[in-house]
Amino acid sequence: MNDFFLNLCANNFGIQEFIGFGNKKMEQVFSHPLSFKDGYIFLEDKPGLGVDYNETIADNYKYKRSYLPVTRLEDGTLWNW
């Protein structure tokens, strides 16, 4: 979110890539004041970074450790996932 606010302050800003906020769990834990219209992002005009974190709901989703696939062979050469 803070990248959106930083971009609003930069007069030479052009394009901001944005994938989205993930899934419904993410939307429950993090509230965001974004609105989209005609390819533009609109932010609320209030102090802060624009993200509220709900600790009570976040406690329902415990961290599960996971690993990315190994991208190197045993001899150290790079390999596709």
In tens, the pLDDT along 36-55 reads: 788 788 887 777 777 788 99
The verdict on residue 80 lying in a domain is no
- pLDDT tens digit string along 1-20? 677 778 878 888 888 777 76
Which domain, by its residues, includes 52? 2-58
Alpha-carbon torsion, ordered 56, 42, 48, 45, to 10 deg: -120
Written as one letter, the residue type at 46 is: K
Q: What is the pLDDT of residue 59?
A: 93
pTM of the model: 0.50
Asked whether residue 51 is domain-assigned, the answer is yes
Residue 50: helix, strand or coil by DSSP?
coil
Sign of CA dihedral 12, 35, 61, 65: negative
Number of domains in the chain: 1
Rounded-to-5 percentages of helix, strand, coil across the chain? 20, 15, 65
